[in-house]
Copies of this chain bind each other. A is one copy, B any other.
């Protein structure tokens, strides 16, 4: 089965109609892990031509709601999207350039940590973000 056919299948299985923008956005998210909407939009347009700003946002939302993509919202940077879903993995974020890398979760399913005091909250997820410098930024001369 071709990659394209696989994306079509994923959309149909999620009860989503197969459209050119949807296929292209899904492909772009797969091709560019942790890309922001802007990057997805550029990739989509290079791939299939004109697609509106709004269509990209709508599709990203539909795919996110359907669980086909995951939205990550690092403070101070636009939302990022990725195709690795359902494995409860975590992220490494570079303080300097914003680069993001995946870190497998030791446990693999949410919530993978338990809070000391839960204050009555019903906790269903523990998100871990490791912050530091990526190899490139660590090596770079002091700016």
Contacts and interface: CB of A to CB of B under 8 A. Distances in A.
A62 interface: no
Interface string A61-95: 00000000000010110010000000000101010
Interface stretch (A21-29, A52-60, A129-137): A129-137
A131 B137 CA distance: 31
A48 interface: no
Report copies per complex: 2
A13 interface: no
A22 to B, nearest CB: 24
Contacts of A75: 73, 75, 79
A116 B128 CA distance: 12
A106 interface: yes
User: Considering the complex of A and B, which 8 residue pairs feature the smallest CB-CB distances, nearest first?
Assistant: A73-B75, A120-B135, A123-B132, A125-B131, A101-B119, A127-B129, A103-B115, A122-B133
Interface of A: 73, 75-76, 79, 90, 92, 94, 101, 103-104, 106, 111, 113, 115-135, 138
29 contacts: A75-B75, A90-B115, A92-B118, A92-B119, A92-B123, A101-B119, A103-B115, A103-B116, A103-B117, A103-B119, A104-B116, A104-B117, A111-B130, A113-B130, A115-B130, A118-B130, A119-B135, A121-B130, A121-B134, A122-B132, A122-B138, A123-B131, A124-B131, A124-B133, A125-B132, A126-B129, A126-B131, A127-B131, A129-B129
